Structure 1
Amino acid sequence: MAKQKPGGLREWVIPVAFAICAGWVIWHGPAYILDFFPHENESMTAQITELHERKDVSSGMSGLFGGTMDFIDWAALLLLPVLLVVGMRSVVHAQMEYADYTRFDYFALFIGRVVMLLIIIMTLVMLYEVFLRYVIEAPTKWANELTLWIAGFVFLLSGLYAMQQRCHIRIFILYDILPRPLRHACDIISVALICLFAFLLVFGSYNQVFGIKFHRWEMFGTAFDPPIPATIQPMILIVVVLVALQSVANLIADWNKQPAEMEEPDIIDEEELEAIKKSVGAK
């Protein structure tokens, strides 16, 4: 069977669909809170309900199963894991990416594709705002904050992809001169410290982040009023845990590799190089 090339239509469509469903679920967070995590405090419930009614895109639709979530809310939520699994199966390894990967790595690879898409969306939003501001002289109230919001997700999720790719900053001055057993000991200590940091961060801030910021669906308090505190802070804890798990997976995958195998040479993506040449008219 011929080897699939990266960048195919399927690798674009599925991350786009995943981002749309994730965006819908995030924006309609109050509906999910009212149905899955209801408040005992009536005033807080009324506040979340008012917020949902003010932000609901599909306000004309009635809730299903006697709850607040309508058909689109349920569809977006149920499609997320489906698109995640399909997206992980559709990932095609690019030439410039880390060569050795396991089944566990497909999650980070797919998230990396979603991050690349988010960067494009963020750039388009910025260009749209520049056009409106300086050409039409009618700036929006939402573009700057939406860019900030997306950038937060890009910054966090790209950290998971960087960990899987082993492209984070590492200093090998002392590590390279150590014998193999001591290198393994250093690897174990490094991963243990990452996991300890993740545990302490989640343990110390879980109630503050999920019990207050998320459960109360704290907004940004501006004209556009996106739920940046309610989404970015929980995402920090989630990504830190994912990075810790990825570091453990990397340790297991790299345990029996020789030092030379772990030093990835600079790889030139010939297909991308040819595409760049064609775009500039070079031969």
Structure 2
Amino acid sequence: MTENSTPQHSDEQEEQPKNRLDAWIIKISQALSLLFIFTVFISFYEVLMRYVFDAPTTWVHESASFIGGSLFVVGGIYAFATDKHVRVVLIYDAVSNRTRRYLNMFHHIVGLAFAGMMAWASFTMVETSWFTPWGEFRLETSGSYFNPPYPALLKALIFIIFCILVMQFILHIIGEIKGLRNNKDV
């Protein structure tokens, strides 16, 4: 394969974290992904208990939903850290590397605004799910027989993830600016 026939945006390049935060997110996310296996096991346990022993559990469904939802939320920052987020490749792959940097800047600025607004909105959700209107600490629960505080915990996780996403966008904007200043990939 000649130098001119190599793709401009290789998978190998996409796998490399762009900063320390991305590297940390990738490492933590890969470790957390093992919780999917745990979710399969407890779901199998529920099926076994319900249909073989006629003794359904009270905790498996909500716990599996909480774990799956939490991992789904973490998947957003993982996708951004590994550069696997959605983009219009028909346009992106047809332009020069310099133009890609400008497209990335536009994406990151819009993404930063979105993530900032979502962080604020999720903070207000956390506030109401962790405290009563008169200010006492009380975690919102599911209201089921098991009644875990999963809704409050998931809302807090969403807030934390959006704060991390804000930091990711800022670091990616800085990286693109440095790349443009150094005239890389021109």
What are the within-5 Å matches in structure 2 for residues 1-283 of structure 1?
Answer: 98-207=15-124, 209-215=125-131, 216-253=138-175, 256=179, 258=185
Deviates more, 1:138-147 or 1:103-112: 103-112
State the SS of the aligned residue for 1:174: helix
**Whose relative contact order is higher, 1 or 2, with alpha carbons under 8 Å and at least 6 apart?**
2
Structure 2: runs of 5+ lacking an equivalent: 1-11, 132-137
Structure 1: runs of 5+ lacking an equivalent: 1-94, 260-283
Structure 1 pair 205–248 and aligned structure 2 pair: CA distance change class (3 A): closer
Distance 1:122 1:187 in 2: 36
**How high is the sequence identity, in percent, across the aligned residues?**
28
State the SS of the aligned residue for 1:184: helix
Q: Which amino acid aligns with 1:142?
A: W
Deviation string 1:68-108 (CA, Å, 9 cap, x unpaired) is: xxxxxxxxxxxxxxxxxxxxxxxxxxx9x813554332320
Indicate conservation of the 8 Å contact 2:23/2:81, yes or no: no
Q: Which amino acid aligns with 1:122?
A: T
Q: Which amino acid aligns with 1:161?
A: Y
Deviation string 1:137-167 (CA, Å, 9 cap, x unpaired) is: 2110111111011111110112211211111
Deviation string 1:225-281 (CA, Å, 9 cap, x unpaired) is: 11122111121122122123223434545664649xxxxxxxxxxxxxxxxxxxxxx
Q: CA deviation at 1:194?
A: 0.9
Deviates more, 1:158-167 or 1:171-180: 171-180
Indicate conservation of the 8 Å contact 2:73/2:161, yes or no: yes
Distance 2:85 2:99 in 1: 21
Q: CA deviation at 1:178?
A: 3.1
Distance 1:110 1:249 in 2: 18
TM-score (norm 1): 0.52
Indicate conservation of the 8 Å contact 1:126/1:143, yes or no: yes
Superposition RMSD on alpha carbons, in Å? 2.4
Indicate conservation of the 8 Å contact 1:217/1:227, yes or no: yes
Q: Which amino acid aligns with 2:81?
A: Q
Deviation string 1:179-221 (CA, Å, 9 cap, x unpaired) is: 44432222111101111011112234423x2321023310000
Distance 1:249 1:158 in 2: 19
Distance 1:132 1:205 in 2: 37
State the SS of the aligned residue for 1:185: helix
- The count of aligned residue pairs is 163
Deviates more, 1:112-121 or 1:142-151: 112-121
State the SS of the aligned residue for 2:73: helix
Q: Which amino acid aligns with 1:197?
A: F
Distance 1:238 1:250 in 2: 18
Indicate conservation of the 8 Å contact 1:191/1:244, yes or no: no
Distance 1:249 1:145 in 2: 36
Q: CA deviation at 1:168?
A: 1.9
